[in-house]
A and B are shown apart, each in its own frame.
Chain A
Amino acid sequence: MTSELITDTSPSPSGVSDEVNAKKSLPGALIRSLRTGAPVLPFLAYVSLGLLLPTIAIINLAFRSNAGKLTLANMKVILCVSNNPTCLQYRAGFETSLKLALVTSIVPGILGTLVAYAIATSEHELFKRLTAACSGVLAQFGGVNLAFMFIASFSAVGGVATHWLAEIGLNPWDHGFNLYKFWGVAFVYMYFQIPLMILIITPAFAGLKESWREAAENLGASSWRYWRHVGLPVLAPAVLGGMFLLFGSGFSAYATAEALTTGTIAITPIQIGAILQGNVLSGEANLAYALGFAMIVILGVSVIGYALLRRRTSRWLR
């Protein structure tokens, strides 16, 4: 409303002022909307070139042979529908990736919610602020630096924390722990997944109105029944939505896993990296597009799940 006021009184270089004079004809409307939209064109052009075009290329090339013909062969290989024993590695990669993403979304999702609740119920304002800032910082950790931090502290030989634990007779490596295998990688991922969950879930606790608690108390509900019938149902969409987001972040992480295991853990992002680096049989180059396409599909589903649950969450946050 006020923007129209400005455009009427002050002619602008974008030509929105023409609005007043323009006839109501279709070409006029088209030109007008083009002119209104012109200043955002550089941005749109950049996004089209930098994001849209690569995505279209992935979708297109995922269904083409190396010679450029339309084919489903790439998909057949990565999903291993043909009974070719060499293709099993990509299906196994997806299985490990999905397992890793599930573990590193459910476990940190629950732990993050508990910690966030502990923080939210604290009476110290300063402590709340400090932990909020810390979660913001820790959620940004990741990649090579994080991997090196864990190698320095938890590697079998020379790891400082391993040494501490060994001195009290609890060397984790003697009890089946391996930093460079599945559970080790999951252990490291928690370092950024838990803070991420805290960031996502904290606003949802504001949706738990104290009046509901008091109402439940007045009706004689035990705390268990309060959580069972009021607290958890209200929180559930937020927790689940957060887990969807963690799933995406765990599923697509490459740098941390690569630096930690030097590429030995067979998850899809690392297999894509190996193809791009040329560490595969010739003729498999287009498999990278097929794997990338499959990742987009899986991540798209998890983001849609997150968005739908977020809409449900916001209902209680009014």
Chain B
Amino acid sequence: MASLELGYALEGEDFPEVYSPRKWSRSWVRRVHWGRGTALFLAAVYFIVPFYAAMQFSLQDINHHFSLQPLTQIAQAPGFFAALWLSTQLAIATMAIVLVLMVPTMIYVHLRLPRFRRVMEVITILPIVIPPIVLIVGVDGVTPLWLKSSQWLLALIYVVLAMPYVYRSLDAGLGALDLKTLVEAARSLGSGWISIIWRVLVPNLRSALLSASVLTLALVFGEFTIASLDGWTTIPVWIYLTPSINPRINTLVAMMALLVTALVLMLIVSFDRSKSHNSRRS
């Protein structure tokens, strides 16, 4: 890899003769250069064309001209706000439960019970072995009837689905902190555990908590399998099941969902990066 970059650098610069690549190496570099261009171009076409085409499909008026008017029609689509409200409620409940459950546990594990980290790492693998379509089968088999008829069952299941994301975000966040010093300092100043978590650790974990929450939010707003099989019209189920007056509206909502997810995830990635840069500098 680095030798390749060296090759690139050498093409324009004056380097000692010893380091100049041999002839076959030069042609190889060029071949890779060419191949790289092709691979990246094809990948770009595959990823951009469907996205652009679907955007064009959903943002046009009756005369097939570009128009933002469909955006205003989303609000009039029957059932849209009910679905949005349900998804929002579920997202808030899921975030609250998963954070209350995971944050104290993970702080404790990092501080006192490092052996337990292995056990927690297993849960990051489990959702691959037990995907939503299988999990809902099992949940159906054990859930009492009163809970089955409640929308909050979805939030309880989503907590399980969100655990790997929350675990990874928090694990990275806690790993970057000097947890022991913070806790010792706070304790020697006389704070109790609740105040340590709330006033010392949570502010320090802001970016990890933010990315955990946003990933959970994206998960709840995109989850279709369990919601549809349980009979709840969340946003993805609404997109799939509701034949609206204008079929473009459903596609538009889907595209908006993708766009918002993409933007927010991009923000997290850049936020994390600037943070890690700062910590490296200090």
Contact = CB atoms under 8 A, between A and B. Distances in A.
Contacts of A121: 1, 4-5, 32, 36
Interface string A95-137: 0000000000000000100110111111100000100111011
Contacts of B254: 144-145, 148-149
A43 B102 CA distance: 7
Nearest to B135: A54
A132 B140 CA distance: 38
Interface string B222-239: 111100110000001101
B236 A160 contact: no
Interface stretch (B46-54, B73-81, B85-93, B169-177): B46-54
Contact of B53 (A10, A152, A252): A152
Contact of B54 (A114, A152, A245, A249): A152
A145 B142 contact: no
Interface in A43-86: 43, 46-47, 50-51, 53-58, 61
B62 interface: no
Contact of B101 (A43, A57, A255): A43
B209 interface: no
Contact of A303 (B47, B129, B139, B142): B129
A50 B135 CA distance: 9
Nearest to B236: A144
Contacts of A222: 24
Contacts of A210: 1-3, 6
B1 A120 contact: yes
B25 A217 contact: yes
A212 to B, nearest CB: 9
Contact of A57 (B43, B109, B141): B141
A143 interface: yes
A53 B133 CA distance: 16
B139 A54 contact: yes
B70 interface: no
B246 interface: no
Contacts of B236: 143-145, 255
B46 A61 contact: no
B138 A255 contact: no
Contacts of A291: 137
B266 interface: yes
Interface in A1-43: 2-3, 6-7, 10, 12-14, 16, 36-37, 39-40, 42-43
A180 to B, nearest CB: 14
A220 to B, nearest CB: 10
Contacts of A132: 269
B125 to A, nearest CB: 6
Nearest to A38: B108
B108 A39 contact: yes
A141 B111 contact: no
A214 B3 contact: yes
Given A61-B141, A160-B53, A164-B53, A40 B229 contact: no
Given A273-B133, A289-B141, A295-B131, 6 more contacts: A39-B104, A40-B109, A51-B130, A54-B142, A137-B262, A153-B49
Interface of B: 1-6, 8-9, 22, 24-25, 28, 32, 35-36, 39-40, 43, 46-47, 49-51, 53-54, 56-58, 101-102, 104-105, 108-109, 111-114, 116, 120, 123, 125-126, 128-142, 156-157, 159-160, 163, 180, 183-184, 187, 193, 218, 222-225, 228-229, 236-237, 239-240, 250-251, 254-255, 257-258, 261-262, 265-266, 269-270, 273
9 contacts: A3-B111, A39-B108, A40-B116, A54-B138, A254-B131, A255-B236, A258-B240, A299-B130, A303-B129
